Structure 1
Amino acid sequence: MPFQQFVVKVNSRCNLACRYCYMYFAADTGWRRQPVTADAVTLRQIAHRIGEHVTAHGLRALSLVLHGGEPLLTDPAVLGAFAADVRDRAGDGCSVRAAVQTNGVLLTEDKLAVLAEHGITVGLSLDGGLAAHNHQRVDHAGRPAWPAIRRAARLLAEDRHRGSFNGVLSVIDLATDPAEAYASLLALDPPAIDFLLPHGNWSRPPPGLPAPAAAPTPYGDWLCAVFDQWWGADRRRVRVRLFQECLALLLGLPAATEALGLQPFTAVVIETDGGIEQVDSLKSAYEGAAATGLNVFDHSFDQALDHPGVAARQAGTAALADACLSCPLLKVCGGGHYAHRYRAGHGFRNPSVYCADLSRLIRHIADALHRAATP
């Protein structure tokens, strides 16, 4: 499958030091060797390679994610010019959905206006809608980022900026009450919420999951509690990606997600030096886990498709552990997030470290769907 999502690191540094960040506090230290920003020559070459890939595969649509670090450390006008270059090279026959994923601290009215002028929407990363939920989101001096994040959330929720608001990404914190976390996020009025499991694996278990194969399912329980709030509401106020994709897969519909299902993975990351990498979350496994050894100056994205790591991500059931292949939830779970399967000395051919939690959530959603469909 050709790449259809291009995650471009426009800046390799961040103005925050979130304590759980897989980029700066995990196994991989490659960010230290990256240029701070992607220069104009690199951005032009990335746009060229994307256009080349569009032409080679006749793509009708693609996603361009401007990422970091913190992408708003780069002038929004530069981001806009880059998005315009990508659109120009992709041609009229390919729709380019451009978005910036930001922690929101640097978002202002003026910057939002420039992004909107260039057709770039905004995704906001935060861990809940209250200060207590964001206690791990601090700057390099340890000061809380929440006041600035709240200001960004309110700005995006205003009617005049509503069209620019993609939604929020929220990493689950077991110390947070799920009903409170969900209600606080609803109060920010985002169009969508994407709940993320903290990146961990069998060798570096996630917080609160010291014995992943044991009976307790803390993350599954947390998500089930939120699902019940979402599912039981008198009207659906917000899209919750994980729940909607699980429902689609249970109904036999295709769903494109890293967390669930067997759809081929079609995202690629380009670092500030032009290096072509696999998805960032692999950096939580070991040093160099995301590297391909390729770059946009010497290699096409088609060459990246031939990389063994990329091929494994697109191999479907061929990349799964025997335990996954015999599981009745296979087509829905899909083995879980690829990065969460890693075990030192055994690679990625393992069930997800969240296997029990995913089973708990999927079965819970399936039961709710069955009850709703039963006269």
Structure 2
Amino acid sequence: MSEAVFEASLERIRRHCLFSGQKSITLLFHGGEPSLVGVKRFDAWCTKARQSLEEVVEVRFMLQTNGTLLNRAWARVLLKHQVRVGISMDGPEELHNAYRVDHKGQGSYENVVQGLNVLREEHVAFGVLSVIQLGADPLAIHHHFLSLGCKSISYILPDFTHDTIGPIRERYGPTPCADFLIPIFDDWWFNGTLDVRIRDFWNIARLIMGGDSLTDSLGNNPFHFIFVETDGRIEGLDVLRVCSEGMTSTTLNV
């Protein structure tokens, strides 16, 4: 994303907040891999966002990253701007490295764990986002995250549609995601602690008790976010791209 697109995004956000009267906004950097912008540029962007918006709205920051580039310099900047961090991780080393490799085909697990350890040591708030690994041992994955000191975990539904789920159910059964999540819930509820927050279960509980879901995959509330692409295009929920090309397009640009 160029400086021009980023500044135009901030101006659009400022104008929207003045119009809507909302009191806070969260800027979530994700990708791709947002840490590729470099720690100095990220620091400058967070500073610029606060300077541009703080008179209008409270600004909060989040970073969703694969964790491979995180180091002490990143930790200092994340603390400086109170950025909440999400680490994308699939599970133990063998499982994680099956899909998450670098351009040389080498697994990224060791680099991710190193980055995660830096965040924990520097007291940067972080959580793990993990796509449900169908057919894998759910408790082995969950206990691995706990062993790394993770206190916030989200298990993400894999991107299948009504038209593509058939072969998955033939291979893994009619309820593959439930079969993965239920053992984790039972272990968390009967053997774990509420100090560990599993976002999926918290959101289901909120809905059952009459509250609102805080994630786009559960509940029917209107979305309270948009996506700004690197060229300035404004899009809706990006995961809908699995349904058809262009489904997320709004035809708008910052």
TM-score (ref. length: structure 2): 0.93
Equivalent residue of 1:122, what SS?
strand
Q: 1:191 maps to what in 2? A: 151
Does the CA contact (< 8 Å) of 1:109 and 1:155 recur in 2? yes
Question: Of 124, 127, 130, which residue of structure 2 is paired with 1:170?
Answer: 130
Q: Does 1:60 align with 2:23?
A: yes
- Amino acid of the residue matched to residue 182 of structure 1? H
Where 1:208 maps in the other structure, the secondary structure is: helix
| Kept in 2: contact 1:103–1:124 (CA 8 A) | yes
Letter in 2 for 1:166: F
Aligned equivalents of 2:81, 2:74: Cα separation in 1? 11
Give 1:290 shift.
1.6
Tell me if the contact between 1:126 and 1:170 (Cα under 8 Å) persists in the aligned partners.
yes
Mark the structure with the bigger radius of gyration: 1
Please point out which of 246, 250, 269 is paired with 2:208: 250
Deviations 1:194-219 (A, max 9, x none): 1101111022338733489xx72121
| Aligned ranges 1:94-173 → 2 under 5 Å | 94-128=57-91, 130-134=92-96, 135-158=98-121, 161-162=122-123, 164-173=124-133
Gaps of 5+ in 1: 1-37, 297-375
Q: Does 1:227 align with 2:185?
A: yes
Q: Where do 5+ consecutive residues of structure 2 fail to align?
A: none
Distance 1:123 1:103 in 2: 8
Residues 144-153 or 93-102, more deviating: 93-102
1:267: which partner in 2?
225
Identical residues among aligned pairs (%): 34
Q: What does residue range 60-99 of structure 1 map to in structure 2 within 5 Å?
A: 60-92=23-55, 94-99=57-62
Change (3 A) 1:295 1:210: farther
Q: 2:253 is matched by which residue type in structure 1?
A: N
* Partner SS state of residue 257, structure 1: coil
Partner SS, residue 52 of structure 1? helix
Give the secondary structure class of the aligned counterpart of 1:276. Answer: strand
Moved beyond 4 Å, runs of 4+: none
CA distance in 1 between partners of 2:183 and 2:87 (Å):
23
Tell me the distance in 2 between the aligned counterparts of 1:202 and 1:234: 34
May I ask how many residue pairs the two structures share in their alignment?
253
Give the CA RMSD over aligned residues: 1.9
Q: Which amino acid aligns with 1:246?
A: I
* 1:214-233: CA deviation from partner (whole Å, max 9, x where unpaired): x7212111100100011112
SS at match of 2:85: strand
Secondary structure of residue in 1 paired with 2:27: strand
